[in-house]
Structure 1
Amino acid sequence: MLIENKIRIYKSCIRPILTYAIETTADTPKTKQKQRTTEMKTLGKICGYTLTDKKHSNDIRNICGIQNIVRWSRYRRRYWKDHVNKMEEDQLAKVAMNGQINAKHQPGKPPKRWCRGSSL
């Protein structure tokens, strides 16, 4: 199989799985490192390189023509934010992003909804 076909499969199937729900989660150094590691393992396999070949990550990305997954994730997050900002004010995604909650919640323990030993 040609490298170009493998890269198309990576872009259409694997990268969306790696970045699933990235638009709504926080970036931490741990998640960034996991994304980079997984991306480079996958791209190395696509190009036929192993760790013993000592090929730099940037070189492999240039060969494949792939953008860094962390940068791509940032782009997707900005795209999602712009998309939500264009929504109506009453849509759930916009309400969740802005943190507007209309329901009242009493502080403390929730009310008891069942009783032990009662028969129906």
Structure 2
Amino acid sequence: MKWRQVTGTTCDPRMPLKLKGKIYKSVIRPVMLYGSECWAVKKTDEKRLHVAEMRLLRWMCGVTRMDKVRNEYIRGSLKVAPVTEKLKGNRLTWYGQVKRRDETHVTKRIMSLHVDDKMEREREAKEKMDGLCEK
């Protein structure tokens, strides 16, 4: 919905690309990543966010996939970082806030909670910290 509200400005060829990038960073990307601190992000979710972001950025630049313009060039012209990096940054920020809370706070207690798994699993369960940083 936010995209449709600003599409008149962001898709206007007379607007400078740098201004379009600022609009994207301040209006559209926060809406895309709202609540992302608590998501259990999978590779498919990251891929969907990347595809949606690139579709928006290409549309803002007036470029189609048929023009064969590289994603790095589009990001560079708009001065926009990849959405997956911002997603990881948001998660790290949230994690830092949780770590600074006092020991009696609910989120701090849940982060240190250990549950014994009684059932056998066919695959290994994801840990709480898997999404925070690359291993």
- In which range does the TM-score fall when normalised by the shorter chain? 0.7 to 0.9
Q: Closer, same or farther in 2 for the Cα pair 1:21/1:99, shift >3 Å?
A: farther
Q: Provide the C-alpha distance between the structure 1 equivalents of 2:98 and 2:19, rounded to a whole number of angstroms.
A: 33
One-letter code aligned to 2:50? R
Runs of 4+ off more than 6 Å:
none
Q: Provide the C-alpha distance between the structure 2 equivalents of 1:23 and 1:50, rounded to a whole number of angstroms.
A: 32
One-letter code aligned to 2:66? T
User: 2:75 corresponds to which residue?
Assistant: 61
Q: Provide the C-alpha distance between the structure 1 equivalents of 2:111 and 2:25, rounded to a whole number of angstroms.
A: 28
Count of matched residue pairs: 100
Q: TM-score, normalised by structure 2?
A: 0.66
Q: Closer, same or farther in 2 for the Cα pair 1:87/1:8, shift >3 Å?
A: same
Offset at residue 15 of structure 1 (A): 0.5
Offset at residue 79 of structure 1 (A): 1.0
Offset at residue 66 of structure 1 (A): 0.9
Q: Deviations over 1:64-111 (max 9, x none)?
A: 1111111111111111100111112233433443448xxxxxxxxxxx
Q: Provide the C-alpha distance between the structure 2 equivalents of 1:8 and 1:93, rounded to a whole number of angstroms.
A: 34
User: 1:85 corresponds to which residue?
Assistant: 99
Alignment of 1:1-120 (within 5 A): 1-99=15-113
Q: Provide the C-alpha distance between the structure 1 equivalents of 2:66 and 2:108, rounded to a whole number of angstroms.
A: 48
Larger Rg: 1
Instruction: List alignment gaps of at least 5 residues for structure 1.
Output: 101-120
Q: Provide the C-alpha distance between the structure 2 equivalents of 1:21 and 1:72, rounded to a whole number of angstroms.
A: 12
Q: TM-score, normalised by structure 1?
A: 0.74
Offset at residue 7 of structure 1 (A): 1.4
SS of 1:59's partner is helix
User: 1:112 corresponds to which residue?
Assistant: none
| Percent of aligned pairs sharing the same letter | 28
